[in-house]
Structure 1
Amino acid sequence: MNINLIESQLKQIDFHVNPGNELVTIKWVPPVFHLIGWGTDAVVVQHPDGPDRVFKVFARERLHKKENEYDVYQRIGQSPYFARCFAKGENYLVLSYEEGPTLYQCLEQGIVIPEQVIADVEDARTYARSRGLNPRDIHLKNVLLQNGRAKLIDVSEFLQPGDDGRWDHLVQGYRDFYHLIKGKKIPSWVIELVKKTYYMQVTDEFSVSEFGRRFVQLLGLGKRD
């Protein structure tokens, strides 16, 4: 792998961040790369010379997040619950390529999410806390399903204080309502509607049970044994 050549190609990736915690806008990615994904701060690409690695390329104004994320990965070390970080560059991290659908994609495709995934994420959170980290911002798009187990692929907020409660709410929703949609394909517009409504309504007094019941009625899911 010619890292100097790859670095020059990485610098050609053209994208910019957006306000309001929206996803980045990608203008151009050199065709040598395979675009794996993108978030609010960075894009993730794969190079054919290193199929077991990905490059997470950060926007210029978000380079401090690259340093924070590198620090988190250094603390995590090797763990079966997290991707690995092998190196950092001027504006990128080199991470292990992790296969498998996200939990979001599982809902879209009707792939069953086993109880083991919930247990694995709880173990991952416990491990992260033991390393002096604050595991937060864990949601459907940054947990992969790998051979029936969970793999967390985004640790960018693990140095931030506070508990956003998102994963705990997802777990309660899983236990109370997942049996109604288990194995069913859920359209992305439905998932997005639930997500946007959640963001508008979530407060300290938020009730997952009440929120879920309203959507069960709205979507006509009913009860299933």
Structure 2
Amino acid sequence: MTGKVICIGLGPGDPELLSLRALRRLQSARVVAYFRKAGRPGQARRMVEGLIPAGAEEWPMEYPVTTEIPLADPAYAATLAPFYDHWAARLHAACRTGDVVVLCEGDPFLYGSFMHLHSRLPHEAVEVVPGIPGMAGCWTATGLPITWGDDVLTVLPATLPEPELTRRIADTDALVVMKIGRNLDKLRRALAAAGRLADAWLVEHGTMPAERVCRLAEVAGPVPYFSIVLLHGKGRRP
């Protein structure tokens, strides 16, 4: 092997929040791979528009399934596993002639799809460049600190069962909820049951041109995929 699979964290969305290391890796890339839904340009690809060097090959990795099959259905994992197997093998093979760059929104090791490739690749063949997590861009967009003093911060996927969401929401000081999508109504009920709906903030497309920041209680309709719900801590202060 003469190269590595280099996954670069792109940060929350604003290209100016790319790290210098990520930018250097991208601008020297000969192959750039990125995940996307079939028929879509892909959010990661949009985030680096104008930054990919001329002549670099682009390899869109199109998911065979996204929300068409419930997560709990065994068919979901059975469909995705061969997809990740295929792309891990292809990316690894490409390393024989040099580095391959993989794009990842936010940070690759925080709910990123790249972790499923990472677990299939030899450790010595991989380099991961961390990125600013999307949640950091979102809580900054509210203009309020997410934690104070000894506040406990909890990160939850909204895909959890409603009773579990309610329990964990009630048991934390500060909160980040990701993977909202079709789970918005369930999340809203859980926040209300925990007595914290009035304090919840919704940030859509944080740091991106379409950014929207509002109280969750003011939102009636569906929310886009790139949405995060926040509860700010109110802990110890000098």
| Larger helix percent | 1
TM-score w.r.t. the length of structure 2 is: 0.26
User: Which structure is richer in relative contact order (CA contacts within 8 A, separation 6 or more)?
Assistant: 2
